[in-house]
Structure 1
Amino acid sequence: MKIARCCLVFILVLSGCSLKNGNEIKIYENYALVEQINSDGVKSYILDLPQNQSLVIYIGDEVLITTPQILSGNNLDDLGSIVAIEIKNEVFPIIEGVNQLALSDFSQFTKEDLWGKWHTIYRSIQLTGKEKDMIYTHDQDIIAGNNENITLKHGQLYADTTPVIGVVIDAPTFTMMDVYSMVESSVKENIPVMVIEVDGLGYLSSDKMDIPWDVHPALSTYPSISNVSLASMLTGLSPKYSKIRLRKDRLLEAETIFELVSDAIYIEGDTALVSTKIDIILNIDRNGNGTDDEVFEATLKAIEKGSSLMFVHFHGVDDVSHNYGPRHQKSIEKWEEIKGYIQEILNVYQGRVILVSDHGLYETSDGGTHGLFHVESMYALIGIIQDGK
């Protein structure tokens, strides 16, 4: 499986320092890094942490992953170069309608903690200043981070004058909106292009899947649900501008990839998630095992017919993952089925193929779900799996 490295995203930053018994202590919110020197003059650093925390320490340009409690080595000589620590596998921060931060394996924060946590996020953004920080606003825009337009007012982050729903620090290069530009580039190069969307194939749960192609993490929309994400793929616009913001929204009036050519083909399951200006080829489940086999057959027929642009949507991974969870064996088996279809498509299609998913899922007590500002839900995937030049 060729999976690009996923950047971790929850950062707590330096809030002060003090001296204790001659040893310098750097305070990171509730955590302390204590320097000790043994009789041989070797330095070590003890992390004073809550039990079972797993942290990443940033020291200059180097990243060291540790599970408590001791780090040592010459590359830790300069305590002053330590700029941040992060809890693994989290995305900032608010689950809409719930007074706590995003779900975590380590801790939960109450409403009373929110002001301090927002302040931590604000300071993290100011510290990193990365253009790759991705900001999700209350009006459902998605904005590349910028120190200058982020402010903290009355315990709430704002992008200019709009409240912030969430922030992804050091975000992936790709979002759902990049599908449009990738297709547009192919059309301009006069290369036939097919987009294959595998609904619900999350980047972080793909560690259990055998993916034989190079794929990369891609941020979903918020909410991270199928029709909202699909609209951003087709238009290259955030939900604020595509106007597809909720599950009930279907009427897509913005220009889409299908207007880039005159012979576009759009193949779906049994339901149109959004309306388009071209006819959608719908496929009824004829044998009771989902629509993926029917979508595959329709795709082969469309390839025989010929088209400069095709969009193909497989739904099975999402359907099974809702029932059993994204890492369940049945979900893995469904992906194996779809992967076989994709491989057969690659064998007969002469053109560029873009593989994309719309969102991931996270485990629940009765299976899996998505939609919240949760790291496993927000991290989809994307990759050009056949160039077609």
Structure 2
Amino acid sequence: MKMLNDFFAKMKECLIQGPLLVWYLDGFGYRMYEYARDAGCIPYITGTFSVSPVSSVSPSLTNPALATILTGMLPQEHGVTDRSVRKLTYPTIFDVASVSAAWLEGDSVLLKTSFRPKLHTDCDGEGCDAGICRSVQYEIAAKTEFIFAHLHQIDDCGHTCGPYDGRTLHQLQETDSRMARISKDFSGNMLIISDHGMHAGAGGGEHGTDCEEDMLAVWGEYHWR
């Protein structure tokens, strides 16, 4: 099975070939993917990308996983082992990729690196993903060669409602539709990655354990041409 730290090498490989758009879907576990696929909620993702499971890091939390995606190192190597650690001193994909790049984030800096992400806040109750997707469109029009878009609302909804709730499926459907609308204007390779999965808890979705639902994330590939 693929490991999350392998994704760094995949991004480098794709950037050698030309422009790259990475859709980073926070909290989108592989078991959630299977459930949404079978429910017919994500037709663009299932019809466009070759999707497979990828093993997350332990602990299965965003900060350690994001640091692994960006560096190709495991938490015990890069030192980001929980949500409180935010400084990343090792080179990231943005340091080694000699192309124009945009890192599109939510409303806060999750990791402090030498490359500054562009932040997006909730606008008119749409959530931060709407602003991030508008920025993806802008970067595509500007011919930015490497776009790394971190969408958060699948994870947000999963935490609030649970990973298999109808409202989470609706959010997945909305994310899928946005990706379909935007990606048609992009000429290059596209990848999907997620950081961790999620299991149903007493008050909603939870993650951070080594259970299968938390540890199986999503890796998707679309190769242009």
Counterparts of 1:263 and 1:362 in 2: how far apart (Å)?
Answer: 37
Q: Please give the secondary structure, in 1, of the residue aligned with 2:123.
A: coil
Query: Could you tell me which amino acid in structure 2 is paired with residue 342 of structure 1?
Result: M
Is 1:323 aligned to 2:173, yes or no?
no
What's the CA shift for 1:203?
0.2
Q: Is the 8 A contact 1:224 1:378 kept in 2?
A: yes
**Pairing of 1:25-104 with structure 2 (within 5 A):** none
Alignment partner of 1:178 is 2:178: no
1:227 aligns with 2:63: yes
Q: Give CA deviations for 1:81-112 in whole Å, capped at 9, x if unaligned.
A: xxxxxxxxxxxxxxxxxxxxxxxxxxxxxxxx
- Gaps of at least 5 residues in structure 1 are 1-171
Q: What do residues 293-315 of structure 1 show as CA deviations (whole Å, max 9, x unaligned)?
A: 11110110111112221110100
Instruction: Say whether the 8 Å CA contact 1:180–1:235 is kept in structure 2.
Output: yes
Contact preservation (8 Å) 1:322, 1:367: yes
State the one-letter code of the partner of 1:303: I
Trace 1:90-169 onto structure 2 (pairs within 5 A).
Answer: none
Of 67, 75, 98, which residue of structure 2 is paired with 1:239? 75
Taking a change above 3 Å as real, the CA distance of residues 187 and 207 of structure 1, as seen in their structure-2 partners, is closer
Matching residue of 1:352: 189
1:188 is displaced (CA, Å) by 2.5
Residue 175 of structure 1 and its aligned partner are, at CA, apart by 1.6
Amino acid at match of 2:32: S
Aligned length: 215
Work out whether residues 192 and 388 of structure 1, in 8 Å CA contact, stay in contact via their aligned partners in 2. Answer: no
CA contact (8 A) 1:261 1:309 kept: no
Higher helix share: 2
Is the CA contact (8 Å cut-off) linking 2:33 and 2:218 kept in structure 1? Answer: no
Mapped to 1, the partners of 2:82 and 2:202 lie a distance apart of 25
Q: Which residue of 2 aligns with 1:90?
A: none
CA distance in structure 2 between the partners assigned to 1:341 and 1:175 by the alignment:
27
- The amino acid of 1:202's aligned partner reads G
Q: 1:215 is matched by which residue type in structure 2?
A: V
1:187 aligns with 2:15: yes
Q: Distance in 1 between matches of 2:36 and 2:169?
A: 6
Distance 1:340 1:175 in 2: 28
1:354 offset after TM fit, Å? 0.4
Larger RCO (CA within 8 A; separation ≥ 6): 2
1:206 aligned residue: 33
Q: Using the alignment, how far apart are the partners of 2:220 and 2:34 within structure 1? A: 16
Match of 1:251 in 2: 87
Question: Given residue 110 of structure 2, which amino acid in structure 1 is its aligned partner?
Answer: L
1:275 counterpart residue number: 112
Question: Are the equivalent residues in 2 in contact too, given 1:270–1:283 (CA < 8 A)?
Answer: yes
Superposed CA offset, 1:340-380 (max 9, x none) = 11112220011110001110000011111000111100000
Quote the offset at 1:208 in angstroms: 2.0
**Higher strand fraction (1 or 2):** 1
> What is residue 204 of structure 2 aligned with on the other side?
367
Q: What is the one-letter code of the residue matched to 1:200?
A: G
**For 2:189 and 2:182, how far apart are their aligned partners in 1?**
11
